[in-house]
Amino acid sequence: MDTLDTTPTGLGTLYCFGYGKLKGPDDLASLIDGEKIDVVMDIRYMPTGRNPLWRSGLVAETTHKGGIPEYLYVKGLGNPDFKSGLPATRVHNEAEGMATLMGALGAGRNVALMCVCGDTPHCHRRLIVAKARQLRPDLRLVELEVGKAPQRS
């Protein structure tokens, strides 16, 4: 994938959401509500969770049934300090993870970053969004949160 695509019309949209309040695929479908998302990138450091539908064995099926055709686990964008309870300050392997993300966006794919956290400002997603916007200031962002209208910027 080309990580340096400079054609604005070829740039996909970046979506962000946390699955923590979602019980399953029906809740995910309601959250995305017709948004065209090509791939969900699971950016948890470890693809585990309390709800088995969001664990590594079933999460691809859950996201597919929720309306997102492709699932990709991207450990490089995971928060290695997620158990600390402190605000995230880094991702596991920024170069590798950002190359994957920017390659997909540069190829015109609409990508959703997914982890458990409910809102981006308090999640490591904010670090990834900031870096992506540094690399591509023209990047469109849509934040999806349960019970709120999509926030576009």
pLDDT at 12: 97
Q: Mean pLDDT across the stretch 116-141?
A: 92
State the CB neighbour count (10 A cutoff) for residue 90.
11
Q: Is residue 135 part of a domain?
A: yes
Q: Is 60 exceeded by the pLDDT of residue 112?
A: yes
Count of domains observed in the chain: 1
For residue range 30-62, list pLDDT tens digits in order.
Answer: 999 999 999 999 999 999 988 889 998 899 999
Q: Is residue 128 part of a domain?
A: yes
Q: Is residue 153 part of a domain?
A: no
Residue 72 sits in which domain range?
8-146
Q: Is residue 26 part of a domain?
A: yes
| Nearest CA among 148, 110, 132 for reference residue 18 | 148
Helices (H) and strands (E) in the chain, counts: 4, 6
Q: Is 90 exceeded by the pLDDT of residue 121?
A: no
Q: Is 90 exceeded by the pLDDT of residue 5?
A: no
pLDDT at 9: 55
Q: Is residue 130 part of a domain?
A: yes
| Nearest CA among 14, 36, 8 for reference residue 125 | 14
Q: Is residue 1 part of a domain?
A: no
Q: Is residue 2 part of a domain?
A: no
Give the CATH number of the domain where residue 14 resides. Answer: 3.40.1010.10
- Mean predicted lDDT score pLDDT of the chain: 91
Residue pair 102/94 in contact by the 8 Å Cβ criterion: no
Position 86 confidence tier, pLDDT thresholds 50, 70, 90: confident
Q: Mean pLDDT across the stretch 96-121?
A: 94
Position 120 confidence tier, pLDDT thresholds 50, 70, 90: confident
* More confident site: 1 or 59: 59
Q: Is residue 151 part of a domain?
A: no
